[in-house]
Every structure is written in structure tokens, then in C-alpha cells.
Homo-oligomer: A and B are copies of this chain.
């Protein structure tokens, strides 16, 4: 009910931006400057830099939703929608940056990074896997480990492009839509129930 933007919000927003851009190396000085707030104000709202980081990380992963089980009968269409949405999110600047930052801080903050993964990609895998399990039970897909199948699909959706973005490799623009159709059709052929090898 309170629309006021507090200094706390300003700090969280600024920290989010700077952490995504510079990783945990973003200095407290830079964060308070970017938030337009005094040094002491920061320490009024947060115990220290570490707890601010933790809060930013937890905030980032609240809004991870996988658009699935919308068309439970049209398998190909459902997977296509999922693939495009997941790809868009995973390869977005924020997605790539948070991947970079979290993997970089996995040693310093093991529990936090595990938590972020569980809340983010972990959730998505689980949902996709249970969706695929349903399709397998309905004999629309070859019987297999649904988690394995989910991981294969997600791996193909992201492909080498996350690595390219992480490493700053230029890539010629592609037809995203078409590519995702290739991937989903390939996946369906891979797990097609009729073709039995």
C-alpha cells in the first residue's frame, strides 16, 4: 500500500545494477553513489556488503517463472513456447550476468549460490521434467528419465550461446524462432515413441 521509494529500495536497485555489471567487486562507495545516498545510510539498512549481496541475489530469483502446462495437449506447441521463453530469459543480459556473477562467487558464498540455483534453474528443470513425465505417461514421448530429457532440451535451447555471451564472443544474428523449431523438432524426434531403437 506504500508507494514510497525508500532509500533501502534505492540501494537494492543500485546494488543489483552494479553487481550484475561488475560482480561482487562493485564497491560500496560505487553503490551508495549510484543510489544517491550517504555512506551511513547504507549501514543503517544493511549489516554489511555481504548481506546486501545476499538480498540482491534472493530478489533476482523471485521472478523466475516457466510458462508451461498451458497447452497440455499440444506437445510441440507447449515445448516451443517454453523453449522461446527460457531462451529469452537465460540469454538476456541480466540472465548471462547473473550466471557469471553467481558462478564466480560459488566458492565464497556456497549456500547462497546453491539457493539461487535451486530457486532458479532448478525450479525450471523440475517443472519441465514433470511436464515431460506426463507426456511420457500418455505415450506421447518415449519412456525415459524425465529429468535427463529436460536437461537435454534445456541444454539444446541454450546451446553454445550462453558460453559465447559469457566469453564475449561475437555471433552473427540468427533466426531465433526457426532455431527453436529445429531444437524442439529434434528433441521430439529424439524422444519419439514410434521410432524405437
Contacts and interface: CB of A to CB of B under 8 A. Distances in A.
Contacts of A106: 100, 166-168
Contact of A167 (B102, B155, B164, B186): B102
Interface residues of A, number: 44
A154 B158 CA distance: 11
Given A151-B159, A155-B155, A183-B152, A168 B100 contact: no
Contact of A107 (B156, B163, B168, B192): B168
Interface string A92-135: 00000001101110110010011011000100010000000000
A179 B116 CA distance: 27
Copies of this chain per assembly: 2
B197 A189 contact: yes
Nearest to A154: B160
B155 A160 contact: yes
A23 interface: yes
A43 interface: no
Contacts of A152: 156, 159, 183, 186
| Best-surrounded residue of A102, A159, A189 (most CB of chain B within 10 A) | A189
A148 to B, nearest CB: 7
